[in-house]
Amino acid sequence: MESVKEILINFISDEVRKFGFKKGIIGLSGGVDSAVSAYLTVEALGVENVVGVMMPYRASNPTSLEDAKLVAKNLGIKTILIDISPMVEAYSEMKEKGVDRIRRGNFMARIRMAVLYDISCKEKGLVVGTGNKTETLLGYTTLYGDSACAINPLGDLYKTQVWRLAKSLGVPKRIIEKPPSADLWAGQTDEGELGVNYILADKVLYSLFELNLTPEELILRGYEADIVYKIVDTIRKTQYKRVEPIIAKVSTATVGKELSFPRDWGT
């Protein structure tokens, strides 16, 4: 993974510094994605320029916080610990018994985003994202929640590639090997919610997009039709999460259409 590592480290260094920032702010969940982002950002910006923000909720699995602390300790980065429970529960709707766990989970993800962006302002740093390509394509993110960031170094790596990168960076084994979870409620796992394991999902996604095969060609190669079509359908249904809010066109030059300026303009 040396070439990929080199690209991602240079990407973080270039994109943070060219806007006049020095620091990267990372939400450390205790999972492998945020661990990899943190390891890369330390290599890119230096240990003194990385802040790990840990934001447990009262119902979070305690091992998530322990693993986040382990990453921070191994790297020697500054950490900030913010319990988001009072913020989540200050919103009276979240106090109601039986509130839908998806609503609560989304709200928690957006509170964490708000905290991260506030700390990025205080620390004068950029929020370094942790989302990978598999969860982005499957829409397994909260819009304006965990997907919100200034730069996203892992966004073009499938989950199984993130695992390989984690090994080569020296991320602790227990973090790489535990079942991936957004930890928004007790017992939640990514693979349980997605209904497909990451190894299989990545094989299908890689074949569809990197090898440019059709779903029918995948089925001919032995993949289960139900799984392949479920994945294709999920990608289509979650497309709205991967684009900017849609604008009704009425003028000649519309932002995002005819007016499409690059993000890095002037840098």
Partner 1 sequence: MRRFKLEIVQLKPILGMVNENFERILGEIDDGIKLGADLICFPDTALSGWELSSLLKEVLIEKDSEKWEVLKSRSKRISIVIGFLEREKDNYFKSVSYLEDGKVLYIHKRLFTDHESIPEDNKEFHTKFGNVMLLTYADLTDPRTVFKSKEHIDMIIVPSAVYAEGMDELGENISSVEKFKLLCKALSIRFHSIVIAVNRVGFEDGYGFFGASSVMNSEGRVIYSLQKFSQARAILHIDLDSRSFKAEPL
Query: DSSP state, 79?
Result: E
Residue 58: burial class (beta carbons within 10 Å; 0-12, 13-18, 19+): exposed
Residue 96 vs 210, nearer CB to partner 1: 210
The site string for partner 1 over 203-242 (x = CB under 8 A, - otherwise) reads: ---x---x--------------------------------
Per CB under 8 A, contacts with partner 1 among 9-68 are: 10-11, 14-15
Residue written as tokens 């289960």? 224
Least distance in angstroms from the C-beta of 260 to partner 1: 4
Selection from 128, 172, 148 nearest residue 30 by Cα: 172
Using CB under 8 A, pick the residue from 1, 94, 200, 235 that binds partner 1.
1
Nearer to partner 1, 58 or 257 (CB): 257
In terms of CB distance, is 68 or 231 closer to partner 1? 231
- DSSP letter for each residue of 203-217: HHHIIIIIS---HHH
Residue 161 lies near partner 1 (rule: CB under 8 A): yes
Is residue 262 part of the contact set for partner 1 (CB under 8 A)?
yes
Site string for partner 1, 164-183 (x = CB under 8 A): xx------------------
Alpha-carbon span 48 to 23, nearest angstrom: 8
Q: Which stretch binds partner 1 (CB under 8 A): 50-58, 64-72, 112-120, 257-265?
A: 257-265
Extract the runs of DSSP E, i.e. beta strands, from the chain: 23-27, 50-54, 78-81, 125-127
From the CB of 83, what's the least distance to partner 1, in Å?
35
**Residue span binding partner 1 (CB under 8 A) among the ranges 44-52, 87-95, 158-166, 192-200:** 158-166
**Cβ proximity of 19 and 267 under 8 Å:** yes
The residue among 89 and 156 lying less far from partner 1, judged by its C-beta, is 156
200 is a site residue for partner 1 (CB under 8 A): no
Min dist CB 162 to partner 1, Å, is 9
Q: What's the CA dihedral at 191, 164, 161, 45 to 10 degrees?
A: 110
Give burial (CB, 10 Å; 0-12/13-18/19+) of 201.
buried
Q: Counting every residue, how long is the chain?
A: 267
* Both tokens assigned to 194: 């997605």
Could you list the residues that contact partner 1 (CB under 8 A)?
A: 1, 3-4, 6-7, 10-11, 14-15, 156-157, 161, 164-165, 206, 210, 258-267
